[in-house]
Structures are given as C-alpha cells and as structure tokens.
Amino acid sequence: MNKQDSIVITGAGIVSVFGSELQEFWSRLLEGKRPLPDPDYPSGVMVTNWDAEALLGRRGLQYLPRSARFLAGASLLAMDAAKLERVSQEPETLGVVVSANLTGLKIMSEYDYTAISEGPRYVSPMQAPNTLANAGSSHLGTRIKAQALNTTISTGQCAGLDAIGYAARMLNASRALRLVVGGVEELNDRVLSCYKHMGVWSEDSTEWAGRPFLLDSTGWLPGEGAASVILERASSAREREVQPLAKVLSWASTTPLGREERDSGGTLRRAIKQAVQKAGLGPEVIELVISGASGFSRQDRAEASALAQYFSSSESVPICSPKGIMGETYGAGGHFQLITALGALKTGYLPATIPSDLDNQLFSGLNITRDCTAWKYNKGTILLISQDYYGCSSAVVIQNF
C-alpha cells in the first residue's frame, strides 16, 4: 500500500437484518440481541424492515432480484455518506468491486428447471442476466454509471475481505479514482440446501446455531444483507473536503497447504502474519480483532488457535465477532466485519460475541467479548480475519484516520 497517499474509507452503507441505518445497526449489535426469525425461514435471519422502492425507485425494480436490491441500496447509501453523486458524472473514474457467492443460485436453478421441463420458450429473457454470479455488480455499475472496472469476487467467507484488498490494489494501480466496494448475500431455500449439504447448518437446532467459539454451537446461523464502502485515496478525499472514516493499511490471503494446516489454524496464522507485516507493524500494535467466527466448531477452533499462536499476550487483545448476533452472511460477512470495526472506532464500544452466562468457550485464554465493552484505543489499529469452509484465509488491517 502507498503510505504517502493512504487508501481511505469515506462512506459506508448497509441493508441488514437491523435495517439500513448505520447508527441503528451499531446500537443493535451493542444490545447483543438477535433479530426475530422470519416465519418463512425460522432457521435463519432475514432482511424484512427496509423499503427498496423508497430508496431505489419503482422503475425496473421488478426485474431486480433481492440481492441486487440489497447491494444497490447499501451502495447508494455509502455514496451519499461519501458525498458522491448517485449517478457519476465521470464514469471512467468510478469502479465497482463486489463479493458474492450464492446470489444467483435460486434464479439459476428455477431458470434451468423451466427450460428443461417446459422448454426454452417459457423462460423469461429478463431473468437470464440474473442467473449470473455478477448480476448484482452489473446492475449496480449500470445504475451509477461506473465504467472504470467491475469485478465480482467469490471466495466463500473470505470474499468480503478479498474484495476490500483487491479494491485497494486497483486504486494503487490507478485503475480507478474511487471504488464502490460491496458485499451481498441473500437467503432462500436453495442456499439453505447448500449450507445443509456442507454440514454447517442444521434446521433442527436453531437456538444453539451461530454461537462463535462455543463448543455447543450447532453450526452457522444463516443470514443475509449487503454492506458497501467507498474507497479512494486520502488526497482525493481532501480535495472533496470529506473526512475519512478509516484507512486500509494492508491485505493478505493464503491457501491451505493441507487439511492439517487448515484445521490447526496455520493457514489463517500465515494470512494474519503477512497482513500485519505488509502494514509495517507487529502483533503488539493490534488493538482489536474483528473475527469471522460464526459457530461452526472446526472453523472456530482453527481461528482461535491461529489467534492464540500469533499473539504472545492474546488475553490483552479484545476479540469480537458480529456473526453471533446477525448470522453468517457469507459473501457479505467481511463487509459487515468492517462495518462493525467502523462502529467500534466511532462509538468506543465493542459488541458481545457470546452471552456472558456461557462459559464453555473453545479457548478460555482469548479475550473474547462477553458483554458490551468500552474500548479505549491508541491509533485504532484493527485486524479483520476470516477463514473459509475449505481453509482459504484472509486478513485486512485498518486504522483510524
């Protein structure tokens, strides 16, 4: 990263299970109460309390899948916060980077089923583009007239952090002046079927699902939503007289050398070490870890092990995971971790990862937040981490601006 002209975050927006207001989202996280389950999907948490038409307008809305609506809504709110026009007047300077994994799965399966069972004449040509993994980013790029670049990253639970790191690289390579960087996922029966076959979700044990770092957790609590941020150089923000929220110092991504390294946390530890070194820092300056732990024991155990191995005085570094409250949003998870970090910098408080009355943590030596906790920081250096189901791991380091 170019230290002379930092990559900064100048705006953020969300469409979440707690609504689309950032302050409300942070407040609900600090309360530590999960949203009520949706009657149609009682085993997960869904976005129900936002008005897409009020934000996006009615025109063409019927052709946008839910995930594309989430992404567009969060991105427009991020652009508003960054004091950018919703339709770019300089399209060649604005780009889009999106993390998403399963957003087109349901439409694709229904499209194929209709084509096979009834014939190609019976499929809607308006739905064809929505079967693609990059449908959301394409819809967004068209809406805001972003022509510098348009990339969709699908690397599982690492996709969000990878999108942030990729976007920073594109800015350093002068591929764009500003980037809308979003993450999105939607919840439906096809997605739940995938989670069930992966073995990370059980429809019969919702109460104990999604409990990070707890032995009794039964796997993921499926969630959905979108979060977006605006990345640009600090010099660009100064020219526009916009105060950055934070700066992105570094990003690293690693792949497992084998199952043993994956399960022992070695792959994630390498990603953490590389990210911190790229930022020109050491473990002693990390003041907070926003974890990707989501209640699947194999992943959480590896993550806890990686943190315990990397930090020599691990008990002093607070660790929190928002997924224990809002669920596993998969492709959007890294972005919601970033939004949680921005909230910690703004409010000076950390959300609880697990209820304080539970004491069966996987690793008792780690300083995992048990209640809403006051957080006093020096430079506000935060490590964001994630390990995918298959072992790939990513880490991003940010710092208060």
List the CATH number of the domain containing 50. Answer: 3.40.47.10
Structural domain ending residue among the three candidates 200, 229, 246: 246
Mean per-residue pLDDT, 137-155? 97
Q: Is the pLDDT of residue 298 over 60?
A: yes
> Do the domain assignments include residue 1?
no
Out of 199, 227, 246, pick the residue that ends a domain: 246
My answer on whether 327 and 200 are in the same domain is no
Same domain, 59 and 147: yes
Residue 383 lies inside a defined structural domain of this protein: yes
The pLDDT value recorded for residue 360 is 61
Mean of the per-residue pLDDT values for the chain? 92
Residue 43 pLDDT exceeds 80: no
- Please count the structural domains in the chain: 2
- 139 belongs to a structural domain: yes
- Helix H segments across 89-224? 105-117, 135-144, 159-172, 189-198
Do residues 189 and 259 both lie within one domain? no
The answer to whether residues 170 and 276 belong to one domain is: no
Same domain membership, residue 302 and residue 270:
yes
Contact yes or no for 246/400 (Cβ under 8 A): yes
Q: For residues 59 and 203, state if they share a domain.
A: yes
* pLDDT tens-digit readout, 336-386: 999 999 999 999 999 988 766 666 666 667 889 988 999 999 999 999 999
Q: How many CA atoms lie within 13 A of 147 on its CB side?
A: 7
- Tell me whether residue 28 is in a domain: yes
CB 210 within 8 A of CB 295: yes
- The answer to whether residues 231 and 329 belong to one domain is no
Confidence check: pLDDT of 314 > 80: no
**Structural domain includes residue 2:** no
Same domain, 130 and 255: no
Regarding whether 200 and 292 lie in a shared domain, the answer is no
Q: For residue 60, what are the CA distances in angstroms to 9, 56, 147?
A: 30, 9, 21
Percent of the chain residues topping a pLDDT of 70: 95
User: What pLDDT was estimated at residue 304?
Assistant: 92
What separation in angstroms does the CA of 394 have from each of 5, 59, 187, 219, 308? 24, 38, 24, 21, 17
The three-class DSSP label of residue 127 is: coil
Taking the C-alpha atoms of residue 295 and residue 321, their distance in angstroms, rounded to an integer, is 10
> Does residue 2 carry a pLDDT above 60?
no
179-183, 242-246, 256-260: segment of lowest average pLDDT? 256-260
Q: What is the mean pLDDT of residues 24-29?
A: 95
Q: Would you state the pLDDT for residue 273?
A: 97
Domain assignment present for residue 396? The answer is yes
Considering the domain architecture, whether residues 53 and 174 belong to the same structural domain is answered as yes
Position 357 scores a pLDDT of 63
- Assess whether pLDDT exceeds 70 at residue 158: yes
Looking at the structure, tell me whether residues 202 and 253 fall in a common domain.
Answer: no
Per the structure, the complete domain to which residue 372 belongs is given by: 248-400
Listed residues 196, 212, 246: the one ending a domain: 246
> Are residues 141 and 256 part of one domain?
no
